[in-house]
Amino acid sequence: MAEEEKKKSSSCVYVADKKHAWLPGNVVSYSDDGKATVKVHYPDNRTAESTVKLSDYPNKALPLQNVDEGGNLIVLEDMVDLPSLHEAAILYNLKSRHEGMKPYTRVGDIVIACNPFQWIDGLYSNENRSKYVEKLIFSTGGEGTDLKSEVEPHVYETSSLAYRGLAVDGHHQSILVSGESGAGKTETVKIVMSHLASVQGSECGNPTPSSSDAVIKRVVDSNPLLEAFGNAKTTRNNNSSRFGKYIQLQFDVEDATSASFSGRAVPRCVLAGSNCETYLLEKSRVVGHEDPERTYHIFYQLIAAPDDVKEQLWDGLKGTKNSSFRYVGDCTPLKIDGLTDAEQWVKTVNALSLVGVVDDKLTTLMRAICTVMQLGNLTVGPDPSDDEKSIITSQDELEKLASLMGMETEDVAKALTTRTVTAGRESYAVPMKVDESRDACDAFAKEIYERVFDWLVRNINAATTAEHNYEDAADVAEFGLVGLLDIFGFESFKINRFEQLCINYANEKLQGKYLLDIFRSVQDEYEYEGIALGDVPFTDNSEVLKLIEGRMGLVAILNEECVRPSGNDTSFVSKLKTVNKDISVLVNERLHRPTEFGIEHYAGPVKYNAEMFVQKNTDVLPKDLLDCACKSSNDLISTELKAKAEASAAAPTTGRGRSKKSALTVGTKFRTQLTSLMANISKTRTRYIRCIKPNPEKEPVKLDLLSSAQQLRCAGVVSAVTISRVAFPNRLTHETAVQRFRCLGSAETRHDLDKLTGQGPEQVNVLIGELLKEYKVKGEEDKKAFEVGKTRVYFRTGALEHLESERMKALAALACNINRMVRGFIARAAFIRLHRKAVAAQALARRTIARKKFMAAKRAAIAVANWRRMIKAKRELKGRQETKAASLLQTRWRIVRAVAMLLRNRKAAIMIQKVVRGTQQRPKYEAMKKEAQEEARVNSKVAALQKRLADAEMKWIQADKARIEAEKRAEGMVAKEEDVETKGEEKVAMTDQQHAVMQESGQMLGVLQQEVLKLRQQNFALRSDMVELKGENNELASHNESLEANFQALKQHAHHMSQMNMKLQVQANSQKKGIVDLKRELNKSRFMHRSEMNKMQEVMKAKEALHEAQLEEMRVELETARYRADEYEAELDDGMGYGMDEEMTGGKSVEEGKRAEGESPPPKAAPITRATFGGQSSLSYYSRYPSTDMEEDWDYGGGYGGEYGGYGSMYGSGYGSMYGS
């Protein structure tokens, strides 16, 4: 096993693979024809053997894996410390750290950032920020102390060291961030900028003056503003920067003397402002983009704004959506940093307000953006009168555009459909074709947007530049600078055009600076280690730069084609290949088209298609459109385009008066910008952050080997490693080298190493000098195979591999010795264990034999005593059973008698209760009966009186009526009499009949008056009776009310009782439910109990079977005991004494003792029934008792070691106890 481990750790290599870049493997064998057989390990956990050519690898050797003694991959924070440093080692070190949620790794001073595609808790916390500030900025480490060794790799490390370099060393700093789209460049720049701005307010430093807070906020918030106008969604990245930028943070650096006088070891740096320069804005994205990409974010944010805001900016914007504008197009909603376009609009407006773009300025800016969008809505068609001419067919859209620009519709249409041609001193208006007019619309839109972007950048600079915004600017002689460069990474697509050429040209310029810095750092390292570097071959990219920017290079030839009236792309490519045919980096293949050429860049060959090169490089806006823009009422458009027109008019001219167009080409301007950028960077201490996009799918914790390896090459990391290891490809620390190769030294060398303990360089010189004394470096036989520095030992090509090979052989030999020793140790240990076991087995056997002899004799004696106690116990048991039966009968009889007496008493009690209740209730009943009768009598009397009253009232009414009639008649008669008397003399004579009538009437009046008197008397009597009846009625009513109250009380009591009854019924229902649940639980418990009982029965059966086996063994032992008892009896007969028998039977033999007690021995094989004592079952047994020999063997229960575990106890535990304790 040990031998396999050693081979594993010594033959681990990497092999190249087209699909995975590099794959780990183990060398199986080498052949003489320069090939090797390798067992390759694939990512899907499968393995396969592969034969590789060593000539395909550098130095004809497979790159080694960095593994420990157990074959595990060594993963380090700083890859410079890897023993074997190459592309594969870097790739797998990054992969291991990325999968371990550690996105940052360093290679010397370079930080490599793998985009984690997820938020990692604590990585950017305030505590982590403060830690880097404390360790790297305000730490007081000694001279030569590597501050980075105390912290893990992080972009905070780069920003902290830049701050310290600015504050302590007084040198301007720059941080170059590069990588492909989606690798995280923009986010990295924002993190670095935020960290630098927060350092001065950290706990370790001094608090930020409140007056600079506004400047810091404007500096930090300028990034989202640039993102809104310069970033867009691409297939690779949802927030891709479509321009490059170089931000210079301006610091007010405290004088070192002042800082020392104030007690500060590190001078204070206060962020005073910033300045931003931009490069290569992708204007073509304004007028078109591929699906599902988007144009710049600001267009979508503006359209997503509230309708009232849009109406204030431009009334034609109200109610519009993305699909309303052709340049914008319909697309799926997108969130940037978790914010929608509408939320981003608010953020952008707030950021614009910080740089002074508010009110009219904001309206002007947004109307310019609307002008760009509206230009895309124009449709152009052929003129019906002439196909060679074009007209604007969308009149409504044209009118909206003219309204936005504040111009006449005809002027705008004319500028977009005609161009002015100047011939001598005369000018002609030439109509444009449909395609030309469309191109003019697109060119106008691109030009306006580019000018808007430049205007915005100038406004941001005006609001953030220290010279204009820092209150102490007059007192600062020079501001300290920390530059942050965020620029496109190297690009290589299927079709590469002018934009890719410019991007790769910029990366070549940066790569030249990068390689030079790396070479200088290697020189500094070797100088620090005390090693002579000598002549190191150094390959730079000067030929590529010469091809692009040389005197007869690509830019110059392209400018010449732009100046020529008949210049075209094909002529440009032809001249380029002819003039630069001797430059090796220019790729000229026969299969190339007339417009195709290739360049061998530092990251690999790229084939370019030169179509549109001349047009894109010229980038001249027609004079008609310039004049149109200058007439616009939009101040931003008119001012910016007027400045462009003036710059074009002021361009230098040749002797023949022709404008030197080459001075205004895109290539020339970009070359000038790059030259200025490199001049600025060269004045600074440069630090690098290389961003890697680990996989195209943007999935966390996943690293695609092939794409990551390509990005490492494009980032120049591999080139840097090649330079740093060109002289000495491998290095080890002193301690590692001595520990790893000590096994190869002789005994004398190892003794010398022990003497030199603590002296690393001397130990390495002694050990490695002996091991490589005969080794010669191929091609460099005159040079030493290694060099020893202060902290490391450096190996030339092949030296470390030679040592590893010798170490593998030595370890293989040592492994054989170790195996032999281990096998001997195992065999000896096994023999000792076997010997001990044999001795123990013999001792156990002897002890078992002796114990069996003793136990047999003891059990024989105990069996006899047990049989006697059993007979006595059976007698006592029988007596107790009879007593128990009699007691049970008596108990039953007493119960029957008591129950009968109870029934009689209960019946008598019920009868007594009936009589008592009847006696108590009868008086109550009689009283209630009388009360009811009285009530009925009163009711009937009241009814009779009421009837009499009614009759009397009727009579009174009739009498009253008769009286009234009589009175009326009497009054009439009196009146008549008075009339007669008044007449007197007229009727003196009256007849007898009339006198009779008068007398009769007088009598009737008398009778009637008497009758009235009688009726009044009766009425008075009736009224008095009525009063009495009303009094009785009131008494009855009060009595009725009391009864009613009693009835209500009884009713309430009944209601209360019904509620109680309902509650009791609910409780009964719940109890019933509980009873049902209890029944279920009981059934469940019963089922479980039955299953447990079944298990217990099975266990009991097993125990019984075991007990039967034990009984069988005991039978054998009893047979032995009987045999020995016979021998013992024979010895007694020979006169050796009867002590034991006499002692047990009181001087008599057992048989005589039993006969004296009146007992007879049990018959042979008489069954004894099973009985249960103490909850346990005693097994039935059979006994044999011959008539002449008392020591016959039988089955028994109890005894020493018996089922119930008691000495001499038959029924339980306890010595001599019949029932147990």
Q: What is the pLDDT of residues 85-136, one digit of tens each?
A: 889 999 999 999 999 999 999 988 899 999 999 989 999 999 999 999 999 9
pLDDT digits (tens, 9 = 90+) for 760-808: 788 888 888 888 887 877 656 667 888 888 888 888 777 887 887 788 7
Residue 642 lies inside a defined structural domain of this protein: yes
Q: Would you place residue 1136 in the very low, low, confident or very high pLDDT band (cuts 50, 70, 90)?
A: very low
Residue 1203 lies inside a defined structural domain of this protein: no
What is the pLDDT, as a whole number, of residue 1207?
36
pLDDT greater than 70 at residue 1193: no
Strand partners, 604: 601
For residue 117, the 8-state DSSP code is S
pLDDT digits (tens, 9 = 90+) for 1103-1135: 778 877 877 777 787 777 777 767 766 665 554
| H/E element, 604 | strand 604-609
The answer to whether the beta carbons of residues 662 and 131 sit under 8 Å apart is: no
User: How many whole angstroms separate alpha carbon 1122 and alpha carbon 1126?
Assistant: 6
Dihedral sign, Cα of residue 291, residue 293, residue 299, residue 303: positive
User: How many whole angstroms separate alpha carbon 691 and alpha carbon 694?
Assistant: 9
Q: Around 227, how many Cα atoms within 13 Å sit in the side-chain half-sphere?
A: 22
| 3 state DSSP class of 605 | strand
The strand order across the sheet containing 604-609 reads: 586-587, 596-601, 604-609
User: For the residues of 458-483, what is the DSSP string, one character each?
Assistant: HHHHHHH-HHHH-TTGGG-SS-EEEE
Please, is 600 exposed, middle or buried when counting C-beta atoms within 10 Å of its C-beta (0-12, 13-18, 19+)? middle
What is the pLDDT, as a whole number, of residue 1110?
74
**Number of domains, the chain:** 3
Average pLDDT over residues 1050-1061: 76
User: For the residues of 843-878, what is the DSSP string, one character each?
Assistant: HHHHHHHHHHHHHHHHHHHHHHHHHHHHHHHHHHHH
Beta-carbon contacts of 514 under 8 Å, excluding residues fewer than 6 positions away, are 176, 688, 716, 719, 720
185 is in an annotated binding site: yes
The answer to whether the beta carbons of residues 712 and 24 sit under 8 Å apart is: no
| 3 state DSSP class of 812 | helix
- Which of 797, 825, 840 terminates a domain? The answer is 797
pLDDT digits (tens, 9 = 90+) for 585-634: 999 998 899 999 999 998 889 999 999 999 999 888 888 999 999 999 99
Which tokens is 1130 given?
């024979």
Residues 519 and 622 in one domain: yes
653 is in an annotated binding site: no
pLDDT above 70 as % of the chain:
84
- What b/e readout covers 1159-1190, taking b as 16+ CB neighbours within 10 angstroms? eebbeeeeebeeeebeeeebbeeebbbeeeeb
25 is in an annotated binding site: no
What is the pLDDT, as a whole number, of residue 945?
78
Q: Would you place residue 922 in the very low, low, confident or very high pLDDT band (cuts 50, 70, 90)?
A: confident
What is the pLDDT, as a whole number, of residue 703?
94
Residue-level length of the chain: 1221
In one-letter notation, the amino acid at residue 1106 is: L
Rg of the chain over CA atoms, in angstroms? 62
User: How many whole angstroms separate alpha carbon 526 and alpha carbon 544?
Assistant: 29
**Pairing assessment for the beta strands 1171-1173 and 1176-1178 based on DSSP bridges:** antiparallel
What is the pLDDT, as a whole number, of residue 538?
64
Q: How far is CA 1146 from CA 372, 499, 603, 870, 1150, in A?
A: 135, 128, 118, 19, 9
Residue 1007 lies inside a defined structural domain of this protein: yes
Q: Would you place residue 534 in the very low, low, confident or very high pLDDT band (cuts 50, 70, 90)?
A: low
1214 is in an annotated binding site: no
Beta-carbon contacts of 1039 under 8 Å, excluding residues fewer than 6 positions away, are none
Average pLDDT over residues 502-521: 87
Residue 285 lies inside a defined structural domain of this protein: no
273 is in an annotated binding site: no
182 is in an annotated binding site: yes
Which tokens is 731 given?
């290095």
260 is in an annotated binding site: no
What is the pLDDT, as a whole number, of residue 492?
87
Average pLDDT, the chain: 82
Q: Hunting for tokens 């001419």 — which residue is that?
A: 389
- Which of 638, 665, 680 terminates a domain? The answer is 680
Q: How far is CA 768 from CA 59, 747, 784, 1150, in A?
A: 22, 14, 11, 99
What is the pLDDT, as a whole number, of residue 982?
59
User: How many whole angstroms separate alpha carbon 704 and alpha carbon 711?
Assistant: 11
Which tokens is 856 given?
């047999």
Residues 743 and 674 in one domain: no
Residues 623 and 528 in one domain: yes
Please, is 21 exposed, middle or buried when counting C-beta atoms within 10 Å of its C-beta (0-12, 13-18, 19+)? buried
In one-letter notation, the amino acid at residue 468 is: H
Please, is 574 exposed, middle or buried when counting C-beta atoms within 10 Å of its C-beta (0-12, 13-18, 19+)? middle
In terms of residue numbers, what domain contains 651?
515-680
Q: Would you place residue 939 in the very low, low, confident or very high pLDDT band (cuts 50, 70, 90)?
A: confident
pLDDT greater than 60 at residue 1175: no
- Which of 749, 780, 797 terminates a domain? The answer is 797
Average pLDDT over residues 12-27: 93
Residues 642 and 775 in one domain: no
Residues 746 and 671 in one domain: no
Which tokens is 99 given?
């999968």
Residue 525 lies inside a defined structural domain of this protein: yes
Residues 603 and 666 in one domain: yes
pLDDT digits (tens, 9 = 90+) for 443-489: 999 999 999 999 999 999 999 999 888 887 777 878 999 999 998 88
pLDDT digits (tens, 9 = 90+) for 967-1013: 777 777 666 666 655 555 554 455 566 667 667 777 777 777 787 77
For the packed helices 360-375 and 635-649, what is the interaxial angle rounded to 10 degrees? 70
Residues 648 and 527 in one domain: yes
Strand partners, 730: 84, 795
Average pLDDT over residues 1160-1168: 42
The answer to whether the beta carbons of residues 785 and 758 sit under 8 Å apart is: no
Average pLDDT over residues 1150-1173: 43
pLDDT greater than 60 at residue 818: yes
Strand partners, 1036: none
Q: Which position has the higher pLDDT, 874 or 966?
A: 874
Residues 674 and 529 in one domain: yes
pLDDT digits (tens, 9 = 90+) for 330-382: 888 888 888 999 999 999 999 999 999 999 999 999 999 999 999 999 999 99
pLDDT digits (tens, 9 = 90+) for 1025-1045: 778 778 777 777 777 777 777
Residues 529 and 604 in one domain: yes
What is the pLDDT, as a whole number, of residue 976?
65
Q: How far is CA 975 from CA 346, 926, 987, 1208, in A?
A: 118, 72, 15, 153
Dihedral sign, Cα of residue 216, residue 218, residue 220, residue 221: positive
179 is in an annotated binding site: yes
**Cα-to-chain-centroid distance, residue 419:** 61
**Closest residue by Cα to residue 603 from 674, 548, 553, 544:** 544
Report the chain's terminal Cα–Cα distance, integer Å.
63
| 3 state DSSP class of 52 | strand
Q: Would you place residue 1146 in the very low, low, confident or very high pLDDT band (cuts 50, 70, 90)?
A: very low
**Closest residue by Cα to residue 764 from 729, 799, 813, 811:** 799
User: How many whole angstroms separate alpha carbon 269 and alpha carbon 273?
Assistant: 12
Max CA-CA distance within the chain?
204
What is the pLDDT, as a whole number, of residue 661?
53
pLDDT digits (tens, 9 = 90+) for 199-238: 876 544 444 444 567 778 888 888 889 999 999 998 888 8
Residue 576 lies inside a defined structural domain of this protein: yes
User: How many whole angstroms separate alpha carbon 419 and alpha carbon 628?
Assistant: 12
pLDDT greater than 60 at residue 1167: no
The answer to whether the beta carbons of residues 680 and 247 sit under 8 Å apart is: no
Indicate which CATH number applies to the domain containing 637: 1.20.58.530
Residues 628 and 754 in one domain: no
- pTM equals 0.64
What is the pLDDT, as a whole number, of residue 1219?
35
User: How many whole angstroms separate alpha carbon 592 and alpha carbon 577?
Assistant: 12
Three-class HEC string of 9-30: HHCEEEEEECCCEEEEEEEEEE
Q: Would you place residue 438 in the very low, low, confident or very high pLDDT band (cuts 50, 70, 90)?
A: very high
Residue 660 lies inside a defined structural domain of this protein: yes
**Closest residue by Cα to residue 126 from 177, 189, 194, 209:** 194
User: How many whole angstroms separate alpha carbon 418 and alpha carbon 317?
Assistant: 29
Which tokens is 594 given?
């007339």
Residues 734 and 602 in one domain: no
Q: Would you place residue 725 in the very low, low, confident or very high pLDDT band (cuts 50, 70, 90)?
A: low
User: How many whole angstroms separate alpha carbon 440 and alpha carbon 428?
Assistant: 18
Residue 793 lies inside a defined structural domain of this protein: yes
